[in-house]
Amino acid sequence: MKKSPREIQDSSRMITRRGLMLGGIQIATAGALAMQMRSMQLDHAEEFRMLADGNSIKIRLLPPARGLILDRNGIVIAGNEQNYRVTLTREEAGGDVEPILRRLAQIIPLSDARIEELLEEFSRRSAITPIVLADRLSWEEFSAIAVNAPSLPGVTPESALSRHYPRRGDFAHVMGYVGPVSDHDLSRIEEPDPVLRLPDFQLGKIGVEGRMEEILRGKAGARRVEVNSTGREMRELSRQEGEQGATLQLTVDAALQNYAAQRLGEESAAAVVMDCETGELAAICSSPSFDPNLFVRGISSRDYRALMDHDHRPLADKTVQGVYPPGSTFKMITLMAGLEAGVVNAGTRFFCPGHTELGGRRFHCWRRGGHGSVDAIKSLEESCDVYYYELAQRVGIDRIAEMARKFGLGVRHDLPMSAVAEGIAPDREWKMRRHGQPWQIGDSLNASIGQGYVLSSPLQLAVMTARIASGRAVEPRLIRAIDGVRQPIPEWPELEGVSANTLRVTRLGMDAVMYGSRGTARASRITRDEWRMAGKTGTSQVRNITAAERARGVISNEQLPWNRRDHALFVAYAPFEAPKYAISLVVEHGGGGSTAAAPLARDILLFALNGGLPPLDAVPSDQRAAMEARHQAMDLFIPEPPRNARTRV
Amino acid sequence: MAYLDYKVAQIPTGWRKILHISWPLVLLVTAVCCIGFVMLYSVAGGRLDLWAEPQMYRFAVGMVLMIGLAFVPMWFWRGISVAAYVVCFLMLVAVDLFGVIGMGARRWIDLGPIRIQPSELMKIALVLLLAAYYDWLDIRRVSRPLWVIIPALLILAPTALVLIQPDLGTSIMLVAGGAIVMFAAGVSLWYFAIIAAAGVGLVTAVLKSRGTEWQLLKDYQYRRIDTFLDPYADPLGAGYNIIQSQIAFGSGGWSGRGFMQGSQSRLNFLPEKHTDFIFTVLAEEFGFVGAISLLTLYMLILGFCLYSALTNRDRFASLITIGISGTFFLYFAINMATVMGLLPAKGSPLPLVSYGGTSLMILMLGFGLVQSAHVHRPR
């Protein structure tokens, strides 16, 4: 294509015009850049020169105060306390830190071994990193150091906030703890907040502290200080305080949690109390516990080893991490699956001769002599195994597993705690995937009574019970409010595919467990009508009982070593008519559910219902003396009434 | 082929071309590079081997490249413009699929001894293609919507590929570089006004949407904006670099603290001082005089390029020269504005001065094109 001269002329005219415009823009931009250079280098040069002179003005970060964690009534369960400490910066000390440490040792207790340790640390760390020499000083020691400051170059006495857990072991597993920031922590965070690099900054490690770290941490402040040539602070030029992290209010009740912890005592056990309506967890307690304050200070290796070596595993959170065969507490699921599938109704009876023969194997009922003719309610009341063996063969495992998941078993519930377990609600597909083997009918029989492959955590059992009580798909909740803003509670949907009749039969069965003449937990009933309860015991085997052993006579739990005894379980809710609280309780290797777990669960449930110590008239009369004695032996936490509460005259 | 319309005989041929190279431009480029060597020597604490020496070798290679390219006739560039664009585009796709990850983004293709950064080559290829496009296009159609959409797509396609690397800085450079060629080619100013208005609207929307449900950016991106608007809000974190850079810059004063005497640079308060913040070192050590001198040299380079473009009657050649010099202008203006705290911190080198092979080679390639356009201008 040939261009006409006219066109060429147009083109070059346009390019000239636009080129000149571009040139103008470029010159204007360069002018702006030059103006900025002038402003910075000529007009404000003095100020910048001052800043630059050895960078005599330093900006130091002020760590923010960590957000408080409160219980549902506003009681502090994780707070901050003033911590007086001294740090030393090698560069400011003029290089040789040893004489300074020796001088300091005359003022505060500082062992030779500790000095060696510190010298080693100084040689590893950069010269400008302040290193904490001593921590948690008394006010006297702190002021003595301040007075002697001139002879201690580089030593800075400072006060900092440190995490403190006033409720000690009560909330150790829920709360987790904070600890110093490790390189590993930093490498996991994409854009680490610079405040994390401060010496001894505390970062939430596990539990709520770890999971809610973002909102608890707050925002760092900064201060500009003038330093002299050795780096010593001369004066503070400006100060911008940080913002404290958000206050987190949990759903737990500190008094109830404390009572639950004491009632569990030294057992290796877990208890979860959940509000049937809202799903709020009122107590979530794993025993034995540990003092999280030890971890904040940096736990000694001796203390740590003691915790690790303890056979009751105090560091493990048994409420959400621990999974157990639910034993007979699973029978409600099997029953409901059977009722919904229509293979039985409330009146259907099976005969229990004490065992079931299946494919040459004999599956025993816990009562050798058998229960005779058993219907749905009686099957729960007396916890007849054979009834469920019959049921399982008719319902099939897949429908049982589906029912289990509907009630929150084998499902991971979302809680801001660490390592929340998913448990197992086994079905055919699961076994093929996990073990590469087809499902056997014997597996169904074991699963029907909560043995075999079934595993669930105490949290899941509490969710199951709350769902039976309310008929709604309640989810557990732990956060009640953030910075005073109440977290909305969803309207939990009604459970689908579970008819009102199914739920009614199941609840009546659980009622019979407590109040039926042969109820397995009759001894642990509540005797006040307005708190009438419904429950279910469970005893889950940790070992297989061989035929030979059975022939010899099954060894009773007391004769076995502790870690081979059965787990004791119990789930319950109350009041029967208008359910308020659901509880699940597991005592590891505790023996029978009715003797080892049910009484504890009943007492904790009573505390929750009463909002204080269980009244003696709420338990059968023969247990009142023992209960009173127990109460007197307890060192209970009585919360002070919140300041804004109305006082009764 | 507009170029053939002129008296071919008057265009220099063979070795005589060397006389027609714009030698002032060569001298200016060399001068700026020499400033770079001095600064690299200084930030290395008086060591030649660390950065200055490798940079000199690269400059020597780049110089040969530039002179060599000056001999290549214009018809060749026009001929390869489409192919160059397609090849660069395919390389960008390849980078996104299996490029080498470095500094948190995929930018490189590893070819054994050399690593290619196709996004840099694309800057040149895009200018070439757009120049060829507007050379081919009837000038009366330049502002018709259809004929505006085509180049816009040619710009946006590679930009999108660069954006997902992710490399926001280079994406902006591509769009701006392309826009400069469109602007010079005479696309109606209304289009630019509308884009500018849309840009202002978008920025407003981004800022207003913060904290609402339809928030447009991620939280950390807003924090970057905060840091830019007030570096002192986060003085030891994101604001640190820019504060230290400003301190160093300002403390240079009228004549600077002297060669190798800049305390900010010496004491390592300044980050990335051999690349992104090298202008700060210059400003600290040679003061206002040094900074304004470098700016002047840059503006003279632009001046020569613009003069060459305006006196060149070959539309294709003019547009190339304007496009390349415009990209060059963006390079140094953005870097200078950043270190002075006028733009948010975004790693970008100072052209011809910062340490780095790719950037230097691409620039020398660009100036080679400018020289080629200058040598072969119709007379």
Read off the pLDDT of residues B271-324 as tens digits, 9 standing for 90 and up: 677 888 889 889 989 999 999 999 999 999 999 999 999 998 889 999 999 999
Is the CB of residue B5 less than 8 Å away from at least one CB of chain A? yes
- Tell me which DSSP letter residue A111 carries: -
Chain B hits for A45, CB-CB cut-off 8 Å, are 250-254
**DSSP 3-state of A240:** strand
Q: Which residues numbered 177-206 in B keep a CB inside 8 Å of some CB on A? A: 180, 183-186
pLDDT at B99: 65
pLDDT at B245: 83
CB atoms within 10 A of CB B90: 11
Angle ∠(B91,B94,B100) on CA atoms, nearest 5: 105
pLDDT at A136: 81
State the nearest Cα–Cα gap between A151 and chain B, in angstroms: 28
pLDDT at A303: 87
Q: Which amino acid is at A488?
A: P
Higher model confidence: residue B270 or residue A531?
A: A531
Distance CA A393, CA A359 (A): 12
Note whether A236 and A99 are same-domain residues: yes
pLDDT at B236: 56
Name the one residue in this structure whose structure tokens are 């000095």.
Answer: A115
State the nearest Cα–Cα gap between A11 and chain B, in angstroms: 7
As given in the structure block, the two tokens for residue A395 are 């319902």
Distance CA A461, CA A443 (A): 21
Q: Which amino acid is at A566?
A: D
- Tell me which DSSP letter residue B260 carries: T
Q: Which residues contact A472 (CB under 8 A, 6 or more apart)?
A: A492, A493, A494, A495
Tell whether A39 is covered by a domain: no
Mean pLDDT of A173-191: 80
pLDDT of B377 above 50: yes
pLDDT of B64 above 70: yes
Mean pLDDT of A496-503: 93
Tell whether A644 is covered by a domain: no
pLDDT digits (tens, 9 = 90+) for A336-377: 999 999 999 999 999 999 999 988 888 999 888 899 999 999
Tell whether A648 is covered by a domain: no
CB atoms within 10 A of CB B290: 24
Q: Which amino acid is at B213?
A: E
Higher model confidence: residue B124 or residue A56?
A: B124
pLDDT of A233 above 70: no
pLDDT at A550: 63
Sorting pLDDT into bands at 50, 70 and 90, what band is A645? Answer: very low
Note whether A285 and A333 are same-domain residues: yes
Q: What is the 3-state secondary structure (H, E, C) of A427-472?
A: CHHHHHHHHCCCCCHHHHHHHHCCCCCCEECHHHHHHHHHHHHHCE
pLDDT at A149: 77
* Total of domains in chain B: 1
pLDDT of B161 above 60: yes
Mean pLDDT of A547-565: 71
As given in the structure block, the two tokens for residue B279 are 């202008």
Decide if A16 and B310 are in contact by the 8 Å CB cutoff.
yes
Tell whether A641 is covered by a domain: no
A250, A273, A307 — which closes off a domain?
A250
pLDDT at A44: 86
Phi, psi values for residue A283, rounded to 5°: -150, 145
**Mean pLDDT of all residues in chain B?**
85
Distance CA A447, CA A444 (A): 5
pLDDT of A469 above 80: yes
Distance CA B164, CA B152 (A): 18
State the nearest Cα–Cα gap between B371 and chain A, in angstroms: 18
pLDDT of A643 above 50: no
What is the CA B197 to chain-centroid distance, rounded?
Answer: 25
pLDDT-above-70 percentage for chain A: 91
pLDDT at A614: 92
Name the one residue in this structure whose structure tokens are 């100013």.
Answer: B189
Q: What's the CATH code of the domain at A618? A: 3.40.710.10
- CB-count burial class (<10 Å; 0-12, 13-18, 19+) for A419: exposed
Chain B hits for A54, CB-CB cut-off 8 Å, are 263, 267
State the nearest Cα–Cα gap between B86 and chain A, in angstroms: 24
pLDDT of A541 above 50: yes
Tell whether A33 is covered by a domain: no
**DSSP 3-state of A322:** coil
Sorting pLDDT into bands at 50, 70 and 90, what band is A644? Answer: very low
Higher model confidence: residue A334 or residue A136?
A: A334
Q: Are B284 and B339 in contact (CB under 8 A)?
A: no
Q: Are B105 and B96 in contact (CB under 8 A)?
A: no
pLDDT of B207 above 90: no
Sorting pLDDT into bands at 50, 70 and 90, what band is A229? Answer: very low
Q: What's the CATH code of the domain at A171? A: 3.90.1310.10
Name the one residue in this structure whose structure tokens are 């877990």.
Answer: A270
Q: CA of B189: which chain A residue's CA is closest?
A: A18
Distance CA B68, CA A58 (A): 52
Q: Which residues contact A91 (CB under 8 A, 6 or more apart)?
A: A127, A128, A154, A231
- CB-count burial class (<10 Å; 0-12, 13-18, 19+) for B87: middle
Sorting pLDDT into bands at 50, 70 and 90, what band is A228? Answer: low
* Total of domains in chain A: 2
**Mean pLDDT of all residues in chain A?**
87
Query: Dihedral angle at the C-alpha atoms of A119, A125, A126, A128, nearest 10 degrees?
Result: -70
Decide if A52 and B247 are in contact by the 8 Å CB cutoff.
yes
DSSP alpha helices (H): ranges in A236-384? 254-264, 293-297, 301-309, 331-341, 376-381
Best-predicted range by mean pLDDT (A227-231, A240-244, A465-469): A465-469
Higher model confidence: residue B128 or residue A649?
A: B128
Q: Which residues numbered 319-338 in A keep a CB inside 8 Å of some CB on B? A: none
Model ipTM value: 0.90
Name the one residue in this structure whose structure tokens are 């970060």.
Answer: A61
Chain A to chain B Cβ contacts (< 8 Å):
147
pLDDT digits (tens, 9 = 90+) for B329-345: 999 999 999 888 888 76
Sorting pLDDT into bands at 50, 70 and 90, what band is A647? Answer: very low
Sorting pLDDT into bands at 50, 70 and 90, what band is A199? Answer: low
Higher model confidence: residue A325 or residue A61?
A: A325
Phi, psi values for residue A464, rounded to 5°: -55, -45
Distance CA A603, CA A525 (A): 10
Name the one residue in this structure whose structure tokens are 């502090």.
Answer: A76
Tell whether A52 is covered by a domain: no
State the nearest Cα–Cα gap between B247 and chain A, in angstroms: 5
Distance CA B312, CA A15 (A): 10
pLDDT at B114: 64
Mean pLDDT of A332-336: 96
- CB-count burial class (<10 Å; 0-12, 13-18, 19+) for A623: middle
A177-191, A325-339, B6-20, B159-173, range with the lowest pLDDT: B6-20
Kindly give the pairing relationship between strand A248-250 and strand A479-482. antiparallel
pLDDT digits (tens, 9 = 90+) for A380-417: 999 999 999 999 999 999 999 999 999 999 999 999 99
As given in the structure block, the two tokens for residue B200 are 């202002």
Note whether A273 and A161 are same-domain residues: no
pLDDT of B1 above 60: no
As given in the structure block, the two tokens for residue B289 are 């005089």
pLDDT of A219 above 90: no
* B134, B247, B267: best to mutate for the A interface, most A CBs within 10 A: B247
Distance CA A187, CA B237 (A): 16
Q: Are A204 and A210 in contact (CB under 8 A)?
A: yes
Angle between helices B118-136 and B315-339 (to 10 degrees): 140
Note whether A142 and A269 are same-domain residues: no
Mean pLDDT of A609-624: 92
* Domain enclosing residue B370, as ranges: 2-375
Decide if B326 and A23 are in contact by the 8 Å CB cutoff.
no
For chain B, the residue count is: 379
Q: Are A176 and A191 in contact (CB under 8 A)?
A: no
Name the region of B116 (left: φ>0; alpha: ψ -120 to 50; beta: rest). beta
As given in the structure block, the two tokens for residue A294 are 């030890």
As given in the structure block, the two tokens for residue A303 are 């203390």
A174-178, A545-549, B27-31, range with the lowest pLDDT: A545-549
pLDDT at A546: 61
pLDDT at A24: 95
Q: Where in B117-172 does DSSP place strands (E)? A: none
Chain A hits for B180, CB-CB cut-off 8 Å, are 22
Higher model confidence: residue A194 or residue A512?
A: A512
Name the one residue in this structure whose structure tokens are 């007197």.
Answer: A632
Tell whether A22 is covered by a domain: no
DSSP alpha helices (H): ranges in A109-199? 112-124, 139-147, 172-175, 183-188
pLDDT of A300 above 50: yes
Phi, psi values for residue A162, rounded to 5°: -130, 150
- CB-count burial class (<10 Å; 0-12, 13-18, 19+) for B233: middle
* Domain enclosing residue A166, as ranges: 58-250
Chain B hits for A3, CB-CB cut-off 8 Å, are 2, 5
Note whether A264 and A178 are same-domain residues: no
Q: CA of B219: which chain A residue's CA is closest?
A: A191
Distance CA A606, CA A527 (A): 11
CB atoms within 10 A of CB A406: 21
Note whether A189 and A264 are same-domain residues: no
pLDDT at B97: 80
**Strand pairing partners for B109?**
B116
Note whether A213 and A360 are same-domain residues: no
**Strand pairing partners for A356?**
A363
Name the one residue in this structure whose structure tokens are 């039985």.
Answer: A344
As given in the structure block, the two tokens for residue B261 are 């005497």
| Residues A492-509 as b or e (16 or more Cβ within 10 Å = b) | beebeebeeebbebbbbb
pLDDT digits (tens, 9 = 90+) for B98-111: 766 554 455 666 66
Q: Are B273 and B240 in contact (CB under 8 A)?
A: no
Note whether A222 and A338 are same-domain residues: no
As given in the structure block, the two tokens for residue A314 are 């105090």
Distance CA B212, CA B209 (A): 5
Tell whether A25 is covered by a domain: no
Note whether A353 and A502 are same-domain residues: yes
